[in-house]
Amino acid sequence: MSETQNLTLVQAVRDALYTEMQLDEEVIVLGQDVGKNGGVFRATEGLFEEFGGDRVVDTPLAESGIVGCAVGMAAMGMRPVPEIQFSGFMYPSYDQIVSHMARFRARSRGRFTLPMTLRAPYGGGIRAPEHHSESKEAFYVHEAGLKVVMPSTPYDTKGLLISAIRDPDPVIFLEPKLIYRAFRGEVPEEDYTVPIGEAVTRREGEDVTVFTYGAMARPTLEAAESLTEEGIDAEVVDLRTVSPLDREAIVDAFKRTGRAVVVHEAPKTGGLAGEITAIIQEEALLYQEAPVTRVTGFDVPYPLYALEDYYLPSVTRIEEGIREAVEF
């Protein structure tokens, strides 16, 4: 067995970048404040010193420029890893993401591929200013040609980010900033991959299946644990990749219990919980013993921090959702 380190999630991001930059000269990191400053969350700390200003590049303040130039570099065969400082600032680059990043391969019938990985921290709960707490993965899941990854542990983060960088297709890698430093986990020093597109069961259970991903995995597991006291045995499936969804895993896990809850912090309407519900009922309606419960953010703009605790799914809200599915 190889050596491991005890890393936080954000350190695992950095470790993945470091690992791939060592192994492949075509990997470069670019974005706002990723260089000398090491990233506003320190996700690129030390990379500038290690790899120099040609491979770890502070760019002007222009998201469409960042994503667009990465598209051009990737079309030439490089593996750029642009960072957008917060996922709430990806919108100025939305045209580059959906019109180009997603479609370059299809448009050129495979002549040009885009092995690029767009990283951004997402999600709420850190008492941040407006626009710094967005969780709008659904905006990218609806666009074919993209893969969208949302890890929840340091181990997965490194393995999935390496997979993303090596992937021949463009990947959006959304990092749960709420848990960037919330805990540590064992992370191999060597390079390894976790496959994109595979969900994982975090907790086995008999009564109900709870689907979640990213920062919501922890409160969901906590809720599942605490409900054992009430005799409820909940299974927790961490999707890890939200596009393409691991339909097989979703359907199989659901069939075992016949009851499901989906937990995400994104707003309810048009969020992934709806899509997952649709998948379940289109493939396993006859197994369904209760409506799929959606425990999600509300359909309102993400609030300033005085009210954010009411907005985000809390352990109690998740528990209620699970009870609802079980008691139906």
Ligand X SMILES: Cc1ncc(C[n+]2csc(CCOP(=O)(O)OP(=O)(O)O)c2C)c(N)n1
Contact residues for a copy of itself (CB under 8 A)? 64, 88, 91-92, 94-95, 98-99, 102-103, 106-107, 130-131, 136, 138-139, 141-145, 243-245, 266-267, 269-275, 277-279, 281-283, 285, 288, 290-294, 298-301
Amino acid type, 291: P
Q: How far is the CB of 41 from other proteins (least distance, A)?
A: 10
Which residues lie closer than 8 Å to 238 by C-beta, 6 or more apart?
Answer: 152, 199, 200, 201, 202, 212, 213, 217
Q: How far is the CB of 161 from a copy of itself (least distance, A)?
A: 23
Judged by CB under 6 A, the chain residues 38 through 67 that form the site for ligand X are 61, 63
Q: How far is the CB of 109 from ligand X (least distance, A)?
A: 21
**Binding residue for other proteins, selected from 198, 307, 327, 328, defined by CB under 8 A:** 307
Q: Does 317 participate in binding other proteins (rule CB under 8 A)?
A: yes
The strand ranges marked E within the chain are 4-8, 27-31, 56-58, 79-83, 117-122, 147-149, 171-176, 184-188, 200-203, 208-212, 234-238, 241-243, 260-267, 293-297
Contact string 94-123 vs other proteins (x = CB under 8 A): -xx--xx---xxxxxxxxxx----------
Residue 131 annotated as catalytic = no
Using CA atoms, how far apart are residues 114 and 168, in angstroms rounded to an integer? 7
**Binding residue for ligand X, selected from 8, 11, 19, 32, defined by CB under 6 A:** 32
**Binding residue for other proteins, selected from 128, 138, 232, 234, defined by CB under 8 A:** 128
SS3 of residue 59 by DSSP: coil
Which residues lie closer than 8 Å to 221 by C-beta, 6 or more apart?
Answer: 202, 203, 236
- Give the distance, in angstroms, between the CA of residue 313 and the centroid of all CA atoms in the same chain: 17
Q: Does 94 participate in binding ligand X (rule CB under 6 A)?
A: no
* Interface size with other proteins, residues (CB under 8 A): 87
Cβ atoms 48, 216 nearer than 8 A: no
**Binding residue for ligand X, selected from 26, 69, 92, 298, defined by CB under 6 A:** 92
Residue 203 φ/ψ, nearest 5 degrees: -155, 130
Catalytic choice (100, 131, 132, 142): 132
Question: Active-site residue numbers?
Answer: 132
